[in-house]
Amino acid sequence: MIHSILFFNTIHHFPTHFLRLRHHTPTAAVTVDNRRGPTISNVYHLISFAYTSLNHLLRLAADHFSSFSPFMLDEYPSIASFAMVELVVPEAVKYMLQKNSGSFSKSNSFRTPQQALRNLNCCSQISTGQQTSPVVFPEKRTKNKASRRTEASGNGDDFKKTKREEHRIDIGGEQSDLLGYEVISGKLVLDKRKTIKPTEEPNSTETTHLDTVDAKLTSKALVWGSYVLSLDDVVSVSYNNGLRHFIVHSYPIKKPSYSLSCFSKSGRSRKDFCFLASTPDEAFQWVTGFADQHCFVNYSSHPLVSSKKQDSEILASDFSYLHVKSKHPPRMLVILNPRSGRGRSGKVFHNLVEPIFKLAGFKLEVVKTTSAGHARNLAFNVDFSTCPDGIICVGGDGIINEVLNGLLCRDNQKEAISIPIGIIPAGSDNSLVWTVLGVRDPVSAALAIVKGGLTATDVFAVEWVQTGVIHFGMTVSYFGFISDVLELSERYQKRFGPLRYFVAGVLKFLCLPKYSYELEYLPASREENLERQAEADKDIADMSDLYTDVMRSHTDGIPRASSLSSIDSIMTPGRSGVEMDTCSTEPSDYVRAIDPKSKRLSSSRSTVTSDPEVIHPQPSLSSASNWPRTRSKSRTDKGWSGLTSQDPTRSSWGNIGANDKEDISSTLSDPGPIWDAEPKWDTEPNWEMENPIELPGPPEDVENGERRETGVRMETNWVVKKGKFLGILACNHSCKTVQSLSSQVVAPKAEHDDDTLDLLLVHGSGRLRLLRFFLLLQMGRHLSLPYVEYVKVKSVKLKPGKSTHNGCGIDGELFRISGQVVASLLPDQCRLIGRPPSSNAK
Ligand SMILES: Nc1ncnc2c1ncn2[C@@H]1O[C@H](COP(=O)(O)OP(=O)(O)OP(=O)(O)O)[C@@H](O)[C@H]1O
C-alpha cells in the first residue's frame, strides 16, 4: 500500500481530489511507501509553505516508521508559485493522520519542526546549511549575508518597547530558485490592525497590535516570520514620504480550510500589510526595493507637508526621499460589454477589478458598449496615443474578437496588431484568456495585467474567397454541428444566459442534420514541426526579452511603453459604423501566403474572383516584422505582405459580415419548433448528386477501428477530403472551456504561438457518433476515436455542400459562408497582456 501526500501548484486549485488535479503540475511529493520505507522529497522546500500540516506529517512519520531516508529529488520541477503551494491530503493519508492523532498529542505535541526533522535524520542537512531551498523556521536565525541589511537601531526604541515573539527566517541561499535573490532584509514591525491609513503612523506605544519580525524582500517574495507573500500577488506599495511605515497591497490566494475544501472555492482577496521600519531611511530603502522589483509605488508627500504644517526639518529630509523610482502608471482604454455574462460584467469590473487597477495607479478610460459592433468601432477609430499601453476588454470571447477585428482593419494595421490587449473574463466563456494565460477569474486576470508582460499569440484570418471578406480570430473557427448550436443559442440568450449553449446543443442534437463539406488542408511539415520544437526550446531562454515590461513600438515612431504607460482621453463611443462596415483588406496574399510554394498551389486551385481594386502592392517584406514570433520564424519572410485598409467605398467585407449577421437573426426571428425549422435533420444530402466530385466521407467501418484513406486525395502538399463531417474545427490554441466541469481541452496539442492551426475533423454523421465524441471529449479521450482526425495545418480551405447549413463560428461570432473560405494564420502575432503560468515558473 502506498500513501502519498502531494503538493501542487495551486494557481487554479480545487484541491479536493487527485484526479481533479491531474492537469496540475506536481511540485513536490512526500511518499510513504510501506514496502520500501518512507521517502521524502523536497520537504525542505515546502516546510515554510505548509508548515503546520507538514510538521504534523513529519511527526506522524517519525512515530510511525522506525527509519527515514529523506533525500532530495531533482525530477520535480521547482516550485514556481511557492506562495500558492498547498498541501493536499488524500483520503488515505487523512485516514492515517486520524488514526495516529492520539499518539501525536501525547508524545509530540511540543516538538519543534527541527526536532521532528532530527527524528527523520534531516538535521545534518539543515544544520550544515546544505539545502539550497528556502526553509522558514521560527527558531532559526538567518546566517545569510544580506545584499542590503537594515538594522533595528537608531530610532529603534519602538522595537525594544515592543516585547513580542520574534520570528526568524532562513530562506536559504541568496540565489535560491524559489525566492530569487535577496533585495533587502532587516527587522520590521508588522501592524496587525485591519484598517490602516497610509498617512497614519502606527502608534508604537500600543504594542498589542505590533509584531517585530525578521523580514526579507527577494526578487520573488516578501518573507517575514513564516509568511511568504509572492510578489506576483502584490499590487502596489503605498508610501508617504518621510514616514517610517509603508503598506503593501496584495491579493493572495485565499485557501479554503481543509475541512471545507470540498465545498468552498478558493479565490483571491485583498490583504494590506502595514510595516513600520525603525527609521524613515529604512522605510525608504524597503520601498525602493519594491520599486526595483517592478511594484508600483503610490508615493505621496509627507502628510505634514501636504497639510501645510511644514517645518524645515521635514523639508530637508524630503529631498532625499523624492525619487522612488516606480514604473509609470499605464494608460489604457477599457472596453466593457455590459451585456456579457448575463449583464454582470459591469458589476464585476467596478467592484472587483477597478480597485486593483486604481491601487496599481492605472489611468483608465472606460467605455461601455451600446450595441454589437461598438467595440469594433472603438478599436478601429481609437487614437493610440490616448491608450499607448493597450486596450482592456471586459466581457467574453466575443468582445475580444470585435476589438481584434477593429484593430486589424485599420490603415496602420502593423501598428494596430502590436497594441497590447488585456482581457478581464466576465462573459459566458473566456476560452482565450483561460487557455493562454491560465486565468479565469476577473481578479487574477486584473493582477496579470497589473504585473504586465506580454504574450505573443497567433492570429488567424478566415477569408471568404469569392468576396474577399476577411474575419480574424484568436481562438477557433468551426463548422458543422457546433456552428449550428451557436446559431440556435442566440435565441436563448436572454432566457438561459451561459446555459444557452447547453440547451441549444441538446435541441440541435435531437434534430441533427447531416453536414457535407469539401475540404483541403495544407499540413505543417514534419521538418517544420521539429524546427519549431527546437525554436520553442530556444525561446524558453529568450522569453525574458519578450516579456519585458518596457516595450517600444517600432512602428510610426510612436514610443509605446508597455510597462503600460499613457492615456489621456479616449475617442467617443459613438458609432462610426460607416467606416467600419466598409473596412476591407487585401485578403488573398496574406491569407494564402503561407509560403510561396503553397501560395502558388493554393491560388492555382482556387476560384478567386479578384477585384483589381482591392489588390495593393505591399511594402518590402523586410520592414514588415515588428514583433518576433515566439516559436517559429516570423512569417514575414515567407511571403507576408500585410494588410491594408481599403477605401471604404470599394470594399465589402464589413458589409458582408454585417449582412451575414442580419441574415442569421432574421432566420432566428422565426421561432417555431426546431424540428419543423430543420427540414434536413433526417434527410441525407446527396453529396454525389449535388457536388459532382467522387470520394465520399470515411466508410462506416472506421468506427470499428479501421481508418481507411479512401476519400483522401493528395495533391502535392494539399490534402483533399470530401464527405460528411459532424464537425470541423480549426483551433489556434488548445481551447479549454471555462464552463466545463471537467477541464476539457478541444485541441490538446495546440499552442497559441506555434504558427499552426490544429485541425480537428469529426468524420461522418449520426447522433451516436456525436454523443461518443462529446462524452470522450469530457474525458480528454476524443482523439482516440477512429472517426476523429487531428492534424496540424498551415491552412484550411473549406466549402459546404449545397444542402449543408452554412454557418461558421469564429471565436463565438456567427457568420454565413457562401462558396469557399480559407483559414490561415497571419505572419504577425498580437500581444496579450500577462504571462502564462509556465513563464512565471521560469
Ligand atoms: N451593448 C451591447 N449590446 C448588445 N450586444 C453587445 C453589446 N456589446 C457587445 N455586444 C455583442 O455581444 C456579443 C457577446 O459578447 P461577449 O462575448 O462579450 O459576451 P458573452 O456573454 O461571453 O457572450 P458569448 O457567449 O458570445 O461569449 C458580442 O458578439 C458583441 O458583439
Determine whether the shortest distance from the Cβ of 339 to ligand 1 is under 6 A: yes
Q: Which residue has the higher pLDDT, 652 or 57?
A: 57
How is 657-687 classified by DSSP, letter by letter?
HHHHHHHHHHHHT--S-HHHH-TTTTSPP-H
Q: Which residue has the higher pLDDT, 603 or 774?
A: 774
Q: Is 60 exceeded by the pLDDT of residue 209?
A: yes
Distances (CA, A) of 726 to 432, 554, 763: 24, 45, 6
- Atom index in ligand 1 nearest the CA of residue 398 equals 17
Determine whether the shortest distance from the Cβ of 398 to ligand 1 is under 6 A: yes
Q: Which residue has the higher pLDDT, 333 or 602?
A: 333
What is the rounded end-to-end Cα distance, in angstroms, of the chain?
35
Give 270 Cα–ligand 1 centroid separation in angstroms: 29
Q: Is 50 exceeded by the pLDDT of residue 233?
A: yes
Per-residue confidence (pLDDT) for residue 538, from 0 to 100: 58
- Grid cell for residue 488: 440556435
Per-residue confidence (pLDDT) for residue 444, from 0 to 100: 93
> Which residue among 366, 380, 399 has the greatest number of ligand 1 atoms within 8 angstroms of its CB, and so is best to mutate?
399
Q: Is 80 exceeded by the pLDDT of residue 208?
A: no
Least confident of 439-443, 598-602, 833-837: 598-602
Per-residue confidence (pLDDT) for residue 765, from 0 to 100: 92
Mean pLDDT, residues 119-148 = 33
**pLDDT tens across 411-424, in order?**
988 899 999 999 99
Mean pLDDT, residues 237-260 = 80
Q: Is 70 exceeded by the pLDDT of residue 807?
A: yes
**pLDDT tens across 138-166, in order?**
333 333 333 455 443 334 444 444 434 44
At residue 407 the predicted structure's pLDDT band, cuts being 50, 70 and 90, is: very high
For the chain, counts of helices (H) and of strands (E): 29, 32
Determine whether the shortest distance from the Cβ of 156 to ligand 1 is under 6 A: no
Q: Which residue has the higher pLDDT, 88 or 241?
A: 241
Using CA atoms, how far apart are residues 798 and 518, in angstroms rounded to an integer? 6
At residue 795 the predicted structure's pLDDT band, cuts being 50, 70 and 90, is: very high
Determine whether the shortest distance from the Cβ of 337 to ligand 1 is under 6 A: yes
Per-residue confidence (pLDDT) for residue 531, from 0 to 100: 64
At residue 410 the predicted structure's pLDDT band, cuts being 50, 70 and 90, is: very high
Q: Is 80 exceeded by the pLDDT of residue 37?
A: no
Per-residue confidence (pLDDT) for residue 529, from 0 to 100: 60
Per-residue confidence (pLDDT) for residue 486, from 0 to 100: 87
Q: Which residue has the higher pLDDT, 314 or 353?
A: 353
Structural domains of the chain sorted by starting position, each given as residue range(s) with its CATH number in brackets:
2-127 (no CATH), 149-304 (2.30.29.30), 331-464+541-609+834-840 (3.40.50.10330)
Give 341 Cα–ligand 1 centroid separation in angstroms: 9
Q: Residue 598 burial by CB count (10 A; 0-12/13-18/19+): exposed, middle or buried?
A: buried
Using CA atoms, how far apart are residues 384 and 566, in angstroms rounded to an integer? 10
> Which residue among 334, 339, 371, 424 has the greatest number of ligand 1 atoms within 8 angstroms of its CB, and so is best to mutate?
339
Q: Which residue has the higher pLDDT, 526 or 288?
A: 288
For ligand 1, atom 13, which residue shows the shortest CA distance?
398
Q: Is 60 exceeded by the pLDDT of residue 669?
A: no
Q: Is 60 exceeded by the pLDDT of residue 657?
A: no
Average pLDDT over all residues of the chain: 65
Per-residue confidence (pLDDT) for residue 315, from 0 to 100: 41
Residue 799: φ, ψ to 5° = -140, 125
ipTM: 0.96
**Cα 399 off chain centre by:** 17
Per-residue confidence (pLDDT) for residue 263, from 0 to 100: 53
**pLDDT tens across 723-772, in order?**
999 999 999 999 987 665 556 799 999 999 999 999 999 999 999 999 99
Per-residue confidence (pLDDT) for residue 301, from 0 to 100: 67
Determine whether the shortest distance from the Cβ of 397 to ligand 1 is under 6 A: yes
Give 667 Cα–ligand 1 centroid separation in angstroms: 19
Of the candidates 515, 503, 519, the residue with the CA atom closest to the CA atom of residue 766: 515
Determine whether the shortest distance from the Cβ of 226 to ligand 1 is under 6 A: no
Of the candidates 75, 97, 80, the residue with the CA atom closest to the CA atom of residue 11: 80
Query: What share of the chain in percent tops pLDDT 90?
Result: 31
Mean pLDDT, residues 234-260 = 81
Q: Is 50 exceeded by the pLDDT of residue 578?
A: no
List residues with catalytic annotation.
Answer: 397
